[in-house]
Structure 1
Amino acid sequence: MAAIDALVAERPEGDAEALFEAAGARDFAGREAEAEPLYRAALAADIGEPERGQAIVQLASTLRNLDRPDEALGLLRDFLLAEPEHPLADAARAFAALALFDDGFPADALREALGALAPHLPRYRRAVEAYAAALDDD
């Protein structure tokens, strides 16, 4: 983390990519509470792609690790609604599934995960989609 911070210090204050890298270093070190505001600052500074999508997914993962799965899910839902074809859409759905599970909705979590998987199946796509739709938490 010290090496990343040294590189970040070489960048202008408020540099979106530097903020993102500083956040990621803290996230990787298990210091999620320190990572969260840095991810938010990077996003507020209009970080470009591909880092923007990564920052959203990583922030959602951080929120989930901070025991705030509902916030993580809201962030991911907004991202997926705005950009359903984003290259990280399936990753966002995977983290949404984890957040749903953590929030006590295992059937919704499995439905989300299967929904992300189904389009990639060369066979049985319709069957998997139908089974996923039939899942119920009751």
Structure 2
Amino acid sequence: MTSDWQARVDAVWAASGELGDDEVVRRIDALAAERPSDDPLALFERAGARDSAGLEAEAEGLYREALARGLGGSERVQAHIQLASTMRNLGRSLEAVELLDVIEPDSGDLRDAVVAFRALALVDAGEARRAASEALAALAPHLPRYRVSLAAYAADLVASA
């Protein structure tokens, strides 16, 4: 059931540009209703639909409930990233940084996304040099050239501040 259900959720997200925010929320809610009301994956999808629709205050509670109910795997990391982004949009950038700091060691292939969203929150918190340093340090290993020099410049940004 989960793979078929997830495929239907993914189809809603794939069509989201044509559906509009209200319809995405409606369809995701309908799919979530097929699962138990405390299902962490369904809660996560409901949160994401609201977040995408600009309903951050509604999304926050659903993200928190999904995490509290044991959301696991990649979705757990995604929920932390999306919740942190929501918190930043709600003007709570330092809380967003703290949330991303907690998840970063477990973020796996989403590590760079964690760093990127933390950089956005750091900018909003008035720490632009630290944000740039962390973002550049995360970018450096992906470059075919200039890795060492970019990593050094990234470190210098916070050392010289």
Please give the range of the TM-score, normalised by the shorter of the 2 chains.
over 0.9
How many angstroms does 1:7 deviate by?
1.5
Q: What residue number does 2:154 align with?
A: 132
> Post-superposition shift, 1:115?
1.1
The match for 1:112 is 134
2:35 aligns with: 11
Encode CA deviations 1:80-117: one digit per residue, 9 max, x unaligned.
Answer: 1x326x11100000001000000001101100110110
What TM-score does the superposition give when structure 1 sets the normalisation length?
Answer: 0.93
How many residues get paired? 136
Shift of 1:48: 2.1
Partner of 1:101: 123
1:23-47 CA-partner distances (Å, limit 9, x unpaired): 0000000000000010011111111
Specify which structure has the higher proportion of helix: 2
Secondary structure of the corresponding residue to residue 132 of structure 2:
helix
Q: In 1, distance between residues paired with 2:137 and 2:65?
A: 31
Structure 1 residue runs of 5 or longer lacking an equivalent are none
Max Rg structure: 2
Q: Letter of the aligned partner of 1:71 in structure 2?
A: E
State the percentage of identical aligned residues.
58
Query: Could you say which structure has the greater relative contact order, defined with CA pairs below 8 angstroms and 6 or more residues apart?
Result: 1
Q: CA deviation at 1:73?
A: 0.3
Say which SS state the counterpart of residue 14 (structure 1) adopts.
coil
- SS state of the match for residue 126, structure 2? coil
| AA at the equivalent of 2:78 | Q
> Structure 2: which amino acid aligns with 1:124?
Y
TM-score by length of 2: 0.81
Report the secondary structure of 2:73's partner residue.
coil
Q: Which of 32, 35, 47 is equivalent to 1:23?
A: 47
1:22 CA displacement: 0.3
Which amino acid is the alignment partner of residue 2 of structure 1?
R
Cα distance, 1:135 vs structure 2: 1.0
Task: Give the 4+ runs in structure 1 shifted more than 2 A.
Answer: none
Partner AA of 2:56 in structure 1:
E
Q: Mark the runs of 5 or more structure 2 residues left unpaired by the alignment.
A: 1-24
Counterpart pick for 1:2 among 12, 18, 26:
26
Q: Does 1:72 align with 2:96?
A: yes
Q: Per-residue deviation at 1:2?
A: 1.1
What is the alpha-carbon distance in structure 2 between the residues aligned to residue 29 and residue 35 of structure 1?
A: 9
